[in-house]
Chains A and B, each alone.
Chain A
Amino acid sequence: MPDVDSRLDRRLRSFLNEIKAQPLPQQLADFKPATVRSGRKVLNLLAGTVAVAVIAATVMVFAIELNGHHGAGSPAPGGKSGATSTPKPTPSILADSSLPTGAKVLIPQTYGTGTETLPTVTLGPNEGIWIEYRCSSNDSTSFSSVVLSGHGVPEFLGPDFRFWLHQFSTPNRCSGTLVTDGGQGGPLSVRFIADRPSVTWMIVVYEYPSRAIAVSNPPPSSTPPSFPGSTPPFLDGPAPAGARVLIHVTYGTGSETLPTVTVARHMPLVVEGGCISTTASGDTLTIASGDPAFNGSIGMGRCYYGSSGGGGGGGAVGSGAGGRLTLRVEAGPSVRWVILVYEG
């Protein structure tokens, strides 16, 4: 034992005991080295899993990616039940941070805060995308995502691809690598989306020679390529862990009545919505219901034409009365929207 005066001894002991009392994060408690094929961090392994899924099957990509929208085990939107099994990562994807042969920088190491769209670059045909990212936040509830959009996004990902980072994060930070196989090439826009302006991040984007994956039939839940721009409406983020999701992430166009759900009494109801329009007029998106559990309507914001995607919005609503609730989305026929409802 080193020679420490009593005052420092007491403080240092208290400090180290505080650290020793820190609970083991769930990610570590669940960590199973037997599933690992490389020394890459598990956070990256999970990202790699997505990448492998991308290569293996488009459906799996959507299942996993959308899993990030509304928590593990939730079905994918559009009634499509997402595959939940996790494909085993392969060494080629998980090679320890060493870039593949022939990799070229598309977007050099870039630092930013909050939401930001990086300069559009051109991805070559058959070139895969390799993104390394890190982020940190003062807010443990902060969610961030990386969105790939533009005609250069490999077709098997859909014309837009949102990758939630929070699944690959500790509460205050994220880091990892997102890798995809190659596609048709073309303009590629990378957008880092943070729900807090204080989120700081770093990203670097490479392209690397890869096989191209051809897709004969686009996934049913993808945005039609003819849609203006290339980005779908966004939510602020997935439902928080533990929240009871009443209406899973659902995409739609125009006015639509949502399935009836049952709301518990005195439970805050959170409606998240996002929208984008094919017109420049600024159509509105409104959520309404005459049921006692809601009794009224809320405007979810205006939806503009654009290629930059629709903003998310929402918040705690509801009367607290509980009971059966049927929500109706009211929007013009040119509005594409996304909605998520949960008890928060």
Chain B
Amino acid sequence: MTVGSDTGRLFTLALSILRDEGEAQDAVQETLVRAWRSWDSLSRTDHVSRWLTRVCVNYCISRRRYLRSRGWPLLQMSELAGSPGDPSSSAQIVDMDRAYRRLSLKQRAAIALTYGYGYTDDESAALMGCRPGTVRTHVARGLATLRKELGDA
């Protein structure tokens, strides 16, 4: 398989959506397993990275729903420490992390894709399996929540 270079990107993307390192690992593993299963057809295309991203994003969005439906307990979330030696930076990141966790998974996915990874609305929509307008709505509502949670409103 030649998807090794995508693994790190998929992991941080999943982590930005799920905010749970273990779940992010699971998401990447599941994505790679699905890729392996479909490799005969997938390897003949030129959009492997996009395919992987789409599978990973959709797994992330559905994963937490699955866990909640199974009644799993909320687990220890991944924490970001911020830059060492910069307490103000650390505090800001912790605040942002707390606010970010208030967002829905789709809002996180939309923000991560468009804002963190530079995908266009159209591209993000294709990855999330929705319309571009829906992506814009998720982003706008997510940012509004962040402003409110961070006291920037």
Q: Which residues of B contact A27 (CB under 8 A)?
A: 25
Q: Is the interface of A mostly helix, strand, loop or mixed?
A: mixed
Residue of B nearest to A24 (CB): B8
Question: A37-45, A205-213, A256-264: which lies at the B interface?
Answer: A37-45
Pick the interface stretch among A5-13, A79-87, A229-237, A317-325.
A5-13
With A8-B147, A41-B26 in contact, do A19 and B12 touch (Cβ < 8 Å)?
yes
Question: Are B1 and A33 closer than 8 Å at their CB atoms?
Answer: yes
Contact between chains at B28 and A28 (CB < 8 Å) = yes
| A27 to B25 alpha-carbon distance, docked (Å) | 8
How many residues on A have C-beta within 8 angstroms of the other chain's C-beta atoms?
45
Q: What are the residues of chain B within 8 A of A34 when measuring CB–CB?
A: 1, 36
Q: Which residues of chain B from 80 to 113 have a CB within 8 Å of any chain A CB? A: 80, 82, 89, 92-93, 96-97, 100, 111-112
Kindly state whether residue B65 has any CB partner on chain A within 8 Å. no
B11 touches A202 (CB 8 A): no
A139 to chain B minimum Cβ distance, whole angstroms, is 10
Q: Is the interface of B mostly helix, strand, loop or mixed?
A: helix
Residue pair B116, A202 in contact (C-beta under 8 Å): no
Contacts A22-B11, A24-B8, A109-B71 hold; do A2 and B32 have CB atoms under 8 A apart?
no
Residues from chain B with Cβ under 8 Å of A11 in the complex: 92, 96, 150
Is B11 touching A28 in the complex (CB atoms < 8 A)?
yes
B114 within 8 A of A: yes
A29–B29 alpha-carbon span in the complex (Å): 10
Q: Provided the pairs A8-B143, A12-B96, A18-B93 are in contact, do residues A24 and B7 lie with their beta carbons within 8 angstroms?
A: yes
Task: Tell me the smallest distance from the CB of B116 to a CB of chain A, in Å.
Answer: 4
Q: Could you name 15 residue pairs across A and B whose Cβ atoms are closer than 8 Å?
A: A4-B143, A11-B92, A12-B96, A12-B146, A18-B82, A19-B12, A20-B12, A25-B11, A31-B29, A39-B30, A111-B73, A136-B73, A170-B21, A175-B22, A202-B73
Q: Which residues of A contact B (CB under 8 A)?
A: 1-2, 4-5, 7-8, 11-16, 18-22, 24-25, 27-29, 31, 33-34, 36, 38-39, 41-43, 109, 111, 134, 136-138, 169-173, 175, 200, 202
